[in-house]
């Protein structure tokens, strides 16, 4: 009997990590949670270690690591506790590891995801910022090291499911004319422009369809999440900006579509539950039960579609512009957005200030062609400084 596949979960206490562990728990003969990581949330990580008994647990904070290590030692656990960014890169590259769920939110997830690709692992990519920041660098690492890249975002996973298996020669050769990325529209889809200026963090965190972490939930409310997904789709499927269209679909039942040159449109449907793409990526090319219930089309009864309004939600426009501009523009966009979301959640700026901050940062930061990770990191830091200065100037 073959051993279970060893899975490293980067960001195991977040929404994607918790759902990944749920799927793994349903298939103990197939998968083992080999390494679990969290930044500083030791309480949920401790519970995960008790249940799944990983070989490694990694936290970002030294004090948190010491606390976790003591707790596990007192319980006679064999889990080894590590700390810091280098430890994250270690637990993705271990020879015993078969697959890596890359679910650390934001730019912090770039280095370990890249390490997993360079180690030739099966990379289950839930961190869209990795491709937004370092698209060419990351895709080159995947190809050069024989890694397997499987998207976890529900939209890109849906596209992957209905895309021809061999798209290596380009979308046209595969008979694909367009990628249609669906978006729920977020909680403010029908709000007037003047109402958006009064939106509070609590209102923005109340997504109508999905249960997600705070950063991605705010991004969904501004449509920046869809903008980042447009950039991600460009790299995943080698699609030009004009081959990607965003479609607002409030029910979140169709997760995305692919249009073919013969007029056919293939769509992947399902309940809005991240366990479906997680299970698909874990078992690919097979399929396994995910714990997600059957889709009740009679209860849904209707499927609506509309065009996105980039006047009320300019973040989507900014993302397309950054993609067309190329170079480090998407990395600048991402850095500014992360600062903007943090500032909004901290009540330092308003909801409609988010795109203003991003546009100002893009205008004030030089776009270059970054040749390596170090140059990308330098651009990211510079953009964050510009964005922070904008926040401070507004508060003055």
Domains of the chain: 5-151 (3.40.50.720), 326-396 (1.10.1740.10)
DSSP secondary structure, 68-129, as one string: HHHHHHHTT--PEEEESHHHHHHHHH-TT--EEEE---SGGGHHHHHHHHHTT-EEEE--HH
Contacts of residue 102, Cβ cutoff 8 Å, sequence gap at least 6: 10, 11, 109, 112, 113, 116, 123, 124, 125, 126, 127, 130
pLDDT surpasses 60 at 48: yes
CA 133, CA 333: separation in Å to the nearest integer?
9
pLDDT surpasses 70 at 210: no
pLDDT surpasses 90 at 212: no
pLDDT surpasses 80 at 167: no
CA 24, CA 374: separation in Å to the nearest integer?
35
Predicted model pTM: 0.92
pLDDT surpasses 70 at 211: no
Share of the chain above pLDDT 70, in %: 99
Instruction: Please tell me the predicted confidence (pLDDT) of residue 161.
Output: 96
Coil, strand, or helix at residue 358? helix
Q: What does pLDDT average to over the chain?
A: 93
In 158-240, beta strands by DSSP E: 176-183
Per-residue pLDDT tens digits for 302-321: 999 999 999 999 999 999 99
Number of residues that this document lists for the chain: 396
pLDDT surpasses 70 at 266: yes
Instruction: Please tell me the predicted confidence (pLDDT) of residue 107.
Output: 77
The model's confidence at residue 13, banded by pLDDT at 50, 70 and 90, is very high
Structure tokens, 193: 């422009």
Instruction: Please tell me the predicted confidence (pLDDT) of residue 105.
Output: 81
Run of H or E residues at 59: strand 56-59
In this structure, what are the phi and psi dihedrals at residue 329, rounded to the nearest 5 degrees? -60, -45
In this structure, what are the phi and psi dihedrals at residue 267, rounded to the nearest 5 degrees? -125, 150
Coil, strand, or helix at residue 319? helix
pLDDT surpasses 90 at 114: yes
Structure tokens, 5: 């596949």
Instruction: Please tell me the predicted confidence (pLDDT) of residue 378.
Output: 93
């Amino acid at each position: 009997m073959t051993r279970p596949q060893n899975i490293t979960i980067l960001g195991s206490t977040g929404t994607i990590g918790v759902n990944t562990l749920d799927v793994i728990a349903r298939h103990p003969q197939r998968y083992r949670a080999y390494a679990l990581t969290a930044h500083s949330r030791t309480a949920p990580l401790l519970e995960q270690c008790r249940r799944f008994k990983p070989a490694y647990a990694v936290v970002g904070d030294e004090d948190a690591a010491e606390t976790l290590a003591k707790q596990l030692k007192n319980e006679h656990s064999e889990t080894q506790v590590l700390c810091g960014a280098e430890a994250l890169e270690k637990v993705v590259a271990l020879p015993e590891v078969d697959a890596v769920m890359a679910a650390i939110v934001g730019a912090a997830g770039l280095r370990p995801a890249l390490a997993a690709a360079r180690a030739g692992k099966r990379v289950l990519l839930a961190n869209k910022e990795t491709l937004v920041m370092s698209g060419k660098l990351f895709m080159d690492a995947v190809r050069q090291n024989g890694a397997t890249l499987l998207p976890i975002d529900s939209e890109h996973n849906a596209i992957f499911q209905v895309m021809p298996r061999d798209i290596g020669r380009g979308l046209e050769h595969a008979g694909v004319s367009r990628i249609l990325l669906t978006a729920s529209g977020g909680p403010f889809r029908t709000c007037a422009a003047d109402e958006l200026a009064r939106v509070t963090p609590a209102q923005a965190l109340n997504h109508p369809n999905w249960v997600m972490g705070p950063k991605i939930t705010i991004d969904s409310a501004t449509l920046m999440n869809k903008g980042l997904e447009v950039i991600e789709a460009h790299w995943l499927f080698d699609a030009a900006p004009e081959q990607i269209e965003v479609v607002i679909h409030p029910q979140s039942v169709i997760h995305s579509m692919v249009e073919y040159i013969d007029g056919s449109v293939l769509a992947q449907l399902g309940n809005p539950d991240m366990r479906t793409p997680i299970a698909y990526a874990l078992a690919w090319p097979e399929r396994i039960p995910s714990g997600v219930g059957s889709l009740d089309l009679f209860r849904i009864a209707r499927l609506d579609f509309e065009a996105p309004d980039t006047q009320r939600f300019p973040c989507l426009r900014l993302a397309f512009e950054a993609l067309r501009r190329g170079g480090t523009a998407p990395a600048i966009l991402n850095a500014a957005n992360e600062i903007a979301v943090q500032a909004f959640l901290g009540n330092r700026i308003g909801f409609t200030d988010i795109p203003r901050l991003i546009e100002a940062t893009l205008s004030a930061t030089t776009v270059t062609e970054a040749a390596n990770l170090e140059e990308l990191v330098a651009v990211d830091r510079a953009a964050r400084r510009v964005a922070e200065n904008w926040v401070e100037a507004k508060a003055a």
